[in-house]
Structure 1
Amino acid sequence: MAGGELAEAVNRLLAGRVGASALRAALVDLYEFRLGKAAAAAGVGAGPGVALVAVGGLGRRELVPFSDLDLVLVHDQHPDIATIADALWYPLWDARIGLDHSVRTPGEALQVASADLRTAMGLLDARHLAGDAELTGRLAAAARDQWRRTARTRLPELAESTRRRWERSGEIAQSAEPDLKYGRGGLRDLGVLRALAAAQLTDRPGEELRQARELLLDVRTELRRELRRDRDVLSGVDAGPVAAELGFGDRFALARKLSGAGRAVGYAVDVALRATAEPPRGRFGRRPSRTPLDDGVVLHGNEVALARDAVPAKDPALLLRVAAAAARTRAPISHGTLRTLAESAPELRTPWPPAARDSLTELLGAGEGLLDAVEALDRTGLWARLFPEWGAVRDLPPREPVHSWTVDRHLVRTAVEAAKLTTTVSRPDLLLLAALLHDIGKGRDADHSELGAAISAEVARRIGLSGPDVALVSGAVRHHLLLAHTATRRDIEEPGTIARVAATVGNDVVLLELLQALTQADSLATGPGMWTDWKAGLVAGLVHRCRQVVQGHGFRPPEPLDARRRELVAAAVASGRGEVLITSDGKVVTVVVAAPAHTDLLAPAAGVLALHSLEVHTAVLRGHDGGRAGIFTASPKFGSPPDPALLREQLARAVSGALPLEAKIAAKERDYRSAHVAAAPKVLWFDEETGGSSTVVLELRATDRIGLLYRVAGALRSCDAEVKWAKVATLGAAVVDSFAVSPRTGRLDPGWRQRVERAVLAAAA
């Protein structure tokens, strides 16, 4: 076989105007013809017992340009096999054909396949080229039979190798430069699906996956034809010519189509690997347990599923609780649960109930688990029910080359980065929502910041935010580029620059800190090198100077007690013991605990609520006429509220010191360790908020967990800090707690503040 003659034939095919599919077919025909002649010249086919077998792309008849040929020379202990092999391989090498070759008996091939997963899957594509066809048939049948018998035991290895490949190569969907072969959702994943189907563990891929395969092959074919070399990563530069050859309007249309195909394949592989995995067993081989995660949501084995008593048709917020639980635990949502929710879950009415809004905040603040949760909802149409606006940015490729992701993935990744910054702002719930929506205006013929501000305001109103909060979210979206552009393009020490930025944010320090965190999250989610120490320093300097201009903080001391609660405090002062009042509205419980002024109240009450797995939404501590009252609103994480009589009895015992809270809380924390993303706790001090020279406000921003308020109250007590009033807000996975404190003895000096801050941060860590 003359190398020049073959290269000339290949070049003629590449230069022709045949389509991608026809080019692959022509390459297969060309190489089969040449290999047939080479095999005959080497003596393959001169007698029985020797066969030339194709695997890989040639075996599947989907050979793309510049691919190596995967060939196996199979023999039945032929005495002259070494001579035949040399006569076959050397002319192919001389012709500069890339080879991945082996010489084996059927038994040797099966033995290698039993130890090497890649070989086992490759033999499933075995196709006869030359020589003894019966020998090829025997090998192919034996390889398929061996795979069917052993595939289930090899599934853990297959799943692990697939996930390692995903980690190395990224994913096709929502990537600006996808790896068509090895990326998640690429051609190698279609091979995984074929192998699972060949083992009769899953159905054969359907029409959607067939179309995805054709698109991936066509793009790979045209990419290699364009570059005249073996390359499988589609860059933005190369995507234009490839798109033109395939008849797409531009590279952005191709990228959007390719992202959709990658999502279909990636999701199918993920579902298939989970469906075929060995289900976890409980003790003594029992069926997997159902661990409660939220109201109506359980962890069944390794998947998030609906509880047996859940009624999706009557619970519109159940969808969000399922998604939040999946994101929080990093466990996938079961396919059956997604199907049930898609068929039965009703629409959330405008405005959303507070519980649904809280679940959304928890979902957005879950960290990396948000990516898979949103993908699962999006693939089943559930995400579009929550955010109909999402369709305009789904799979939308970025126009700027610095972006690594499609617009929809960038938005979700920005929320992931924002979850790490929730302790830097006083309104983490608004930060997370603004992160999700900051580029929602892209993909339309308008300024995306202005349009995004209008869209985000509509979303914020729909989910039930107040007017001021709607304005904050809309303002953050409208001005999400303000700090980065100003800090890197203007003199941040120029008074006019500072005044302009302060005026743009309306002299609102809450919006200013939202923009600072959003700027960082947006940059980190854009691509490598977009958030540098230099840029961070410039933005921080700009914000610091603006803070000196902007006045106010954004929180107020709690309101005075109403008449009924003042009466409860008076009763506690008169009796000298704790008094408790419990009311409920559905699953939301309001607990008022009153005690004489000298009684420690915050830690005991917070501890009892934590023991009953009651999630504290707000807590207010107020003094009145020789006594004090703590007002807590809370709801059970799952199940029903505790018996009021039991709760009242334990609260009274805890306030009197008769309940051993420390050991019980420690045990509860061990059993229910939080899986939320760990944002570093932060303490801020505000001297001007109390109106007194001996009292200061300490604000704690931290990730919520069972027993946190109890631990913080204990830390304040250990530092001899008297809590004059307290105001606690739980916002999804984050808390923003304010305490007006003063030293019981000594002076309010820097040393005392440092001791208090260290103790509070240690309690919140």
Structure 2
Amino acid sequence: MRQRSKQVLPENELAQRRRDRALEADETLRELFAKATADGGGSGIVLVAVGGYGRSELSPFSDLDVVLLHEPGLDEDHVRAVAEAIWYPLWNDNVALDHSVRDTVQMREAAATDHRAAMGMLDARAVAGDSELVTALRSEVLADWRREARTRVQEVREARLARIERSGWLAHSAVPDLKESGGGLRDSVILRALVATWLIDVPHEESESLRNSLLDVRDALHEVSGRRVERLDAELIPEVARLLDMNPEELDLHTRQLGRRIAHLCSLAWRRIDRAVAPTRKPKISATGPVVTRLAEGVGLLDGEVIVMQRADPAIDPELALRAAAVAARDGHPLSAGSAARLAATMGEMHDPWPKSSTRLMVDLLTAGPGLIPVWDELDFAGVIDRLLPEWGPVRLRGSSSPVHSFTVDRHSLETCVFASEVQRDVARPDLLAVAALLHDIGKGVDGDHSVEGEPMAVAIATRWGFDAEDAATIGRLVRWHLLLPTIATRRDIEDPSTAANVAEVVESADFLELLAALSASDAQATGSAAWTTWRRGLIEGLVSKTQAQLDDAVASPDPQAYEGWPAQVPIPEHGTTGPADFTLEVEAHKDGSLLTVVTSDRHGLMADLAGAIALAGLEVRSARTVTLGDAAASLWEVSREDVDASRLSERIRPALAGEIDLAARLELKPADDAVGSRIRILDRLSETATLLEVRAHDRRGLVWTVCHEIASSGLSIRSAHMSTYGTEVRDVFYVVDADGNRLDDATAADLRDRVEAALG
């Protein structure tokens, strides 16, 4: 057991010292008040301690928050004389004084218009003088606070959000502010004020314990710095840690954990406030309880929170955690703390490797944008992330050694994912970008160069998460080289041809360069303003452009050879009918989906009609290929569902081919629920016999039909179509030919691109 030095400050002693300082201040103020009112002028006047002093929580260099309160109508000259007799001796002794003089009416009015004054009065106590004035005023302020709580809490919320915007989060800021940061001392005081509204309750003992522990850290910080300071700078941590009998890393983690727990309590409190102040609605009640809106299998929405439904069983369906998280992050709803705790306690083991459905859900979560962060935090606080990503523990709340970083390693990684989601349409594989964004600093949890150490860790994680060996290796390479572009761009002459040539040797392909550039930009923006200046951005983009010129394949696209022709292993069925709605359909299992082979009479717009019919059947198209055989057309559709009923699907296809369904009305494309517009490109020089139209967009029902319909409406035909879905993003490539079966001319191709872009919004 460690031996404490004489200078170590035990926790109970620190709390007692705060109380002792308050008592000492009380005695001083009482003496001054007695002298100031020695002539008998103490009636109707009182010295009041407010704020931290009112709570008897005085740190070594805290301000002394005092109000000289008096009855209305008391002689102003007398009040001024009493005030000066108290303030001047304190100023002469260099006491940090935050003082004011008000009558009870003024004080109540101030509390009614300034939530900070009201919150200070909630902790007010009489130090010297007429204590009944304080008791009566505090009761009135508290009654006002409760009566007007529904509007006052909004003032508190707005001020809090503005403060956190300035000061960041205690748990995740590179240099946390113990008082002003989210999860700091001000937040712990806000919890007291919210409870005082009677709208909600929070765990009182836990909240008070957390604040007292954080006050201990601040007391030690004051002792070390010898002045009033709230920011826990890195150079002060070793000495502060010594006073608290900790090592520096232990103190840093301890402080951030306190901030994390206070922030979590605040999050729960504000959710309860939102429910309490929401317009009164009669809850929907069924025979079994409140009605839950179903969002996904086993996942619902109740009181504005995403929950795991009662009948769902995480023990046999561990993917439930990913489903709930992905839905919550995508829709911007909070994930219920109770559901997160239930998942952590009961979820079963994930398969190793994960099934493709789990992989997609993780990608959905990581590409959700800003909604990712609160949902991930809730899962992490409950312990679910440890089940999904055990390697997260060593980087959790870990401070960065780099002065340019604004966040801890874990929060920086999540912020990188958010920035990556904004450029996911700029890359061919947004799923690989999202996972690399999360894992690019995972090596900081072990000794050594984090890029080198992180590569095999990322490969192992990606493999466990269900990515194939090639994709896992790409994610690993992105982690290994995520600092390559900013390092070379800022330390080498990018105008020297050998610089771009050397980078090209490392990246090897335009696809990888595209991913690496997006990761580099996202990483830099998540690091902070100093890492993504106009100068740095220009250098990196210049290097990327010059490196692209060094690569043979300057446009990221699939291998065209993989798209041309009919798969040799798929036999083409006999087609014995000639009517426009006559067709044959064969269904067979294929990987984790099905292959549909449709043979019918060839006609213009056939692919669009088939795509519409398949969409109405609720099937997700992965690829489509077609070939004409005389007057017949055979098409092969790869779909995601395994249990396709051929007879039921035929009943969907037949009226679509016969023109009996208004596909345009049934498949009206809904606006995408993201802020990034669809990207439509003509991929030049990839085929001598067709024009390749690439669509990068948010996945939506009817999207494939919309593109096929625009192509057909332009008098053009689709020779083959190839769809890939990564999370909520699609990367579709259509091989388009004109009426004579030839490649489109430039003007026609440009017009088609514009028409599809307009149709997709």
Relative to the length of structure 1, the TM-score reads 0.87
Q: Report the more deviating stretch, 186-195 or 717-726.
A: 717-726
> CA separation of 1:470/1:587 partners in 2, compared to 1, >3 Å: closer, same or farther?
closer
Per-residue CA shift, 1:681-733, capped at 9, x if unaligned?
A: 3344434443x3x4122222223233322332233334443211110011102
- Identify the residue that residue 4 of structure 2 maps to in structure 1: none
The offset of 1:527, in angstroms, is 0.7
- Counterpart Cα distance in 2 of 1:385 and 1:74: 57
Does the 8 A contact of 1:55 with 1:122 survive in 2? yes
CA deviation after TM superposition for structure 1 residue 185, in Å: 0.4
1:323 aligns with 2:294: no
Aligned match of 1:7: none
- The answer to whether the 8 A contact 1:724-1:740 is kept is yes
TM-aligned CA deviation for residue 396 of structure 1 = 0.5
1:743 is matched with: 738
Q: Does the CA-based 8 Å contact 2:581-2:655 persist in structure 1?
A: no
1:418 paired residue among 420, 427, 435:
420
Per-residue CA distance 1:147-180 (angstroms, 9 max, x = gap)? 4565466444444443343334321111112232
Query: How far did 1:375 drift?
Result: 0.3
Amino acid at match of 2:752: V
2:527 alignment partner AA? T
User: Does 2:54 match 1:59?
Assistant: yes
Question: What letter matches 1:596 in structure 2?
Answer: S
1:171 corresponds to: 169
Partner of 2:120: 122
Residue of structure 2 in register with 1:520 after alignment: 521
1:548 and 1:136 mapped to 2: Cα distance?
Answer: 77
- 8 A Cα contact 1:367 1:416, kept in partner: yes
Check the 8 A contact 2:691/2:749 in 1, yes or no. no
User: For residue 217 of structure 1, what is the aligned residue in structure 2?
Assistant: 215
Provide Cα deviations, 1:13-69, integer angstroms capped at 9, x if missing partner.
xx9999865654454234222211222223288555432221101001112355443
Report the counterpart of residue 662 of structure 2 in structure 1. 660
Q: Cα offset for 1:144?
A: 4.4
Q: CA separation of 1:494/1:160 partners in 2, compared to 1, >3 Å: closer, same or farther?
A: closer
Change (3 A) 1:594 1:520: farther
Partners of 1:567 and 1:64 in 2: how far apart?
Answer: 85
Q: Measure, in 1, the Cα distance between the counterparts of 2:702 and 2:533.
A: 37
Matches within 5 A, 1:275-354: 275-278=272-275, 286=284, 290-307=292-309, 309-354=311-356
Q: How much has 1:611 moved relative to structure 2? A: 4.8
Structure 1 residues 595 and 528: CA distance shift in structure 2, 3 A: farther
Contact 2:604 2:712 survives alignment (8 Å): no
Equivalent residue, structure 2, for 1:443: 445
1:434-454 superposed Cα distances (whole Å, 9 cap, x missing partner)? 111011000322121111011
Deviation at 1:83, TM superposition (A): 1.4
Aligned pairs for 1:392-541 (under 5 A) are 392-505=394-507, 507-541=508-542
Partner of 1:623: 627
Alignment partner of 1:597 out of 580, 583, 602: 602
Quote the Cα distance in structure 1 between the aligned partners of 2:571 and 2:34: 99
Amino acid aligned to 1:170: G
Question: How far apart are 1:258 and its partner, in Å?
Answer: 2.0
Q: CA RMSD in A?
A: 3.5
The answer on 1:37 being equivalent to 2:31 is yes
Structure 1 residues 593 and 302: CA distance shift in structure 2, 3 A: farther
Q: Which residue of 1 aligns with 2:268?
A: 271
Contact 1:622–1:629 (CA under 8 A) maintained in structure 2: yes
Q: CA deviation at 1:308?
A: 5.4
Equivalence for 1:12 = none
Q: Is the 8 A contact 2:177 2:231 kept in 1?
A: yes
Counterpart amino acid of residue 547 in structure 1: Q
Q: Which residue of 2 aligns with 1:709?
A: 704
Q: Give the match's secondary structure for 1:480.
A: coil
- Does the Cα contact within 8 Å between 2:691 and 2:743 map onto a contact in 1? no
Matching residue within 1, 16, 28 for 2:22: 28
Aligned-partner Cα distance in 2 for 1:245–1:654: 78
2:238 aligned with 1:255: no
Partner amino acid, structure 1, of 2:98: L
Change (3 A) 1:241 1:724: same
1:3-14 to structure 2, matched below 5 A, reads none
Give 5+ residue unaligned stretches, structure 2.
Answer: 1-6
* Residue 272 of structure 1: how far off its partner (Å): 1.5
- Residues 110-162 of structure 1 show CA distances to partners (whole Å, capped at 9, x for unaligned) of 55545543333222211120112344334445544554565466444444443
Residue 191 (structure 1) shift: 1.0
Please state how far the C-alpha of 1:629 moved relative to its aligned partner.
Answer: 1.5
What is the SS of the residue equivalent to 1:312? coil
Provide the rounded CA distance (Å) in 2 between the counterparts of 1:627 and 1:330: 45
Letter in 2 for 1:557: Y
Deviation of the 1:245 alpha carbon: 4.4
- Using structure 2 for the length normalisation, give the TM-score: 0.87
1:280-337: CA deviation from partner (whole Å, max 9, x where unpaired): 5797664686443322222223111234553323211110011011111111011222
Q: Deviations over 1:486-536 (max 9, x none)?
A: 22222334444334323323x233322221111111111111131234333
Q: Is the 8 A contact 1:603 1:713 kept in 2?
A: yes
The total of aligned residue pairs comes to 735
Name the SS for the 2:529 alignment partner.
coil
1:22–1:723 distance in 2 versus 1, CA, 3 Å: same
Q: Distance in 2 between matches of 1:325 and 1:572?
A: 46
Residue 748 of structure 2 corresponds to which residue in structure 1? 752
Please tell me whether the aligned partners of residues 690 and 735 of structure 2 are also in contact (alpha carbons under 8 angstroms).
Answer: yes
Q: Name structure 1 gaps, 5 residues minimum.
A: 1-14
Please give the residue correspondences for 1:648-727 in structure 2 after superposition, counting only pairs within 5 Å. Answer: 648-666=650-668, 669=670, 674-676=672-674, 678-690=675-687, 692=688, 694-727=689-722
Going from structure 1 to structure 2, the CA distance change for 1:391 and 1:688 (only over 3 Å counts) comes to same
Which residue of 2 is the match for residue 137 of structure 1?
Answer: 135
Give the secondary structure class of the aligned counterpart of 2:22.
Answer: helix
Matched residue type, 1:726? A
74 and 521 in structure 1: CA distance in 2 versus 1, 3 angstrom threshold: same
Question: SS of the residue aligned with 1:52?
Answer: strand
2:368 corresponds, among 356, 363, 366, to 366
Contact kept, 8 Å, 2:721 with 2:735, in 1: the verdict is yes
Cα 1:85/1:57, change in 2 over 3 Å: farther
Tell me which residue corresponds to 2:582. Answer: 577
Q: CA deviation at 1:600?
A: 1.7
| Equivalent position SS for 1:567 | coil
Whole-angstrom CA distance in 1 between matches of 2:614 and 2:301: 24
Contact 1:316 1:345 in 2 (8 A): yes
Distance 1:451 1:17, change over 3 A: closer
2:317–2:347: 8 Å Cα contact kept in structure 1?
yes
Report the CA distance shift for 1:216/1:674 in structure 2 as closer, same or farther (over 3 A). farther
